[in-house]
Amino acid sequence: MQQPVVRVGQWLVTPSDNQISRKGRQLTLEPRLIDLLVFFARHPDEVLSRDELIDNVWTRNVVTSHVVTQSISELRKSLKDGEDGSLEYIATVPKRGYKLTVPVVWCTEEGEAPAPVITPAASASAVDLPAPKSAAAITQDQPPRVKPVKPKRIATIWVWLLFLLALGTCVALVALSTMDSQPPRTKARLLLNPRDIDIHLLKGNSCVNRASQDAYAVGLGSLMTTSLNTFSTFMVHDKTNYNANEPSSSGKTLTIEFVNQRHYRAQQCFMSVQLVDNADGSTMMDKRYFITSDNQLSIQSDLLSSLSEALKQPWPDRMLTMLKLYQPSHGSALIHFYQAHQLLMNGDVDSLDKASALLDDVLADSPDFSYAFAEKMLVDVLRHSQQTLDKEQLKTLYTEVAKLGEMPGAKELAVYYQIKTVYLLGQGKIDEAYAAINSGIDLEMSWMNYVLLGKVYEMKGKNREAADAYLTAFNLRPGDNTFYWIQNAVFQTSVISVVPYLDNFLASE
């Protein structure tokens, strides 16, 4: 037997073809929208919460409630099919969820119904019939020799009539949908999002000094992700820490890989950076850099410039100002800064201790490197949140944090507000921490900002909002590092209690 089809209101839904059809129209929807519609059809007249939809329709994906809202909107638009006055197929029930409001009839393409579907109204007509007349009354009203019809037999006839009517409707709809009448057809593939970009670090045949190479590549990936998410209309997912093999809906992919290539009669190590448009497989950018201790700054600048040109996305003045703070005066300090930055993203105490020591070396080499000083303060404040400091250490830390606030341009950096948020959370000043992290988000869209926003929401007792923030952070930079931050940064978070979707998703990998 073929996969069942279902009639939802005026539409015949064929899940096996991802299609919905009615007289004169046939639409092909995204598989996720078909799954969503079928799930509604299996639960007619029920109010379904966002959590239920996420658990049953998005079973292996990490999504926020905003994704559910967007999918509901797209499904409503397809079902209305451009008719403003048509039925509202899916109603919103405030503070509870969504409900399918049209009749549902299940059938198969062979015309067989798995079970007679009787709506509550139909059931009432079959069971709550008017009381039958007495035998004497029937005799008076009817001609002689006509036997009265028993009430039980009347109810049975009604049930069979309803069953045959539903079965006939299914057969007619299936026949109409398969007739070669050449109706107008609208076909739509599962489209990639052209404004989404995935950044991957490929674990290919690296050259020498793998650790420093990876740190440099991860740092560049983080810089490009934050820059594009903050200063452009693109949405970038930094997947340099994410090795899951799964299909992506992003329209573009940027890969970084270290490769050996013959150059002047010898094998040389090059950093290959490619930007590919997944819609047609075309290469939008293809750069190869031979990295030395003296050209790391120029490579970073050229890469950002090439990316801007490839995406037709000019960088605003505020980003260029930020980049000046983000770069040391000479390139030799940049590789150590990126090594410290990678340790910071790991988030554990041992990595933070190593990052602090590395940043001390960077500042000794480049005392004018403003961003390195700010990142050093963030690392030390996070260390304080995970291990107790003595009075002298605390005094030194608070003095350095105050010094950072007086530096030119510091208050234009998101990291300044990240430091304030961690510090204020440690003092229990939740409202002030909330204001601080929102100031940071206004300046920069980064995964770390949303992790800290989730921590603030937890302290405010708003676990639903905390879950949304954590899932946003994970979407911006999926992987073990972000998951560790969610669980352990500033204070420990019970993932099962606060954001079970993320826990279930990782458990299924």
Whether the pLDDT of residue 184 is over 50: the answer is no
Query: Which pLDDT band, with edges at 50, 70 and 90, does 386 fall under?
Result: confident
Q: Using CA atoms, how far apart are residues 254 and 310, in angstroms rounded to an integer?
A: 12
Q: Could you tell me whether strands 104-107 and 19-22 are parallel, antiparallel, or unpaired per DSSP bridges?
A: unpaired
Structural domain harbouring 225: 191-315
User: How many domains is the chain partitioned into structurally?
Assistant: 2
The four Cα atoms 300, 302, 308, 314 give a dihedral, to 10 degrees, of: 100
The pLDDT, as a whole number, for residue 187 is: 45
* Same domain as 240, residue 147: no
Residue 130: what pLDDT? 44
Instruction: Kindly state the tokens that stand for 389.
Output: 């400091």
Q: Is the pLDDT of residue 1 over 50?
A: no
On whether residue 158 sits in a domain, the answer given is yes
Higher pLDDT pick, 165 / 275: 275
257 vs 133, 273, 288, 336, 409, CA distance in Å? Answer: 87, 7, 10, 20, 34
Residues 80 and 120 in one domain: yes
Residue 55 lies in a domain: yes
Residues contacting residue 475 through CB under 8 Å, at least 6 positions apart: 62, 64, 237
Determine, yes or no, domain membership for 51.
Answer: yes
Query: Does some domain include residue 498?
Result: no
In the chain, % of residues over pLDDT 70: 77
Q: Are residues 200 and 180 in the same domain?
A: no
- Do 82 and 179 share a structural domain? yes
Residues 17 and 146 in one domain: yes
CA atoms lying within 13 Å on the CB side of residue 256: 23
Higher pLDDT, 275 or 134: 275
How many CA atoms are closer than 13 Å to the CA of 316, on its beta-carbon side? 9
Q: Give yes or no for a contact between 276 and 284, defined as CB atoms under 8 angstroms apart.
A: yes
Q: Are residues 177 and 34 in the same domain?
A: yes
Asked whether residue 264 falls in the same domain as residue 152, the answer is: no
Is the separation of the CB atoms in 330 and 297 below 8 Å? Answer: yes
H or E segment and range at residue 249: none
Contact 298, 211 (CB under 8 A): no
Residue of 321 and 391 predicted with greater confidence: 321
* CA–CA separation, 131 and 79 (whole Å): 42
Task: Choose from 143-157, 199-213, 281-295 the range with maximum mean pLDDT.
Answer: 281-295
Q: Are residues 48 and 173 in the same domain?
A: yes
Same domain, yes or no, for 267 and 134? no
Between 125 and 403, name the one with better pLDDT: 403
pLDDT of 344 strictly over 80: yes
Q: Is residue 352 part of a domain?
A: no
* 17 and 159 fall within a common domain: yes
Compute the distance between CA of residue 308 and CA of residue 287 in angstroms, rounded to an integer: 13
Cβ neighbour number for residue 260 with a 10 Å cutoff? 14
Nearest alpha carbon to residue 465 among 442, 437, 427, 505: 437
3-state DSSP of 386-417? HCCCCHHHHHHHHHHHHHHHHCCCHHHCHHHH
**CB contact at 8 A, 474 and 451:** no
Q: How far apart are CA 483 and CA 471, in angstroms?
A: 10
Q: pLDDT tens digits, residue range 353-370?
A: 999 999 999 999 888 888
12 domain residue, yes or no: yes
Q: Please report, for the domain that includes residue 250, its CATH number.
A: 3.40.50.11830
DSSP 158: H
Q: Please tell me the predicted confidence (pLDDT) of residue 91.
A: 86
Nearest-angstrom CA–CA distance, 118 and 420: 61
Residues 105, 213: one domain?
no
Domain boundary among 162, 186, 210: 186
Question: 126-175 pLDDT, tens per residue?
Answer: 334 344 444 444 344 444 444 454 555 666 777 677 767 777 776 666 56
Mean pLDDT of 4-13: 85
Threshold 0.75, pTM exceeds: no
DSSP 3: P
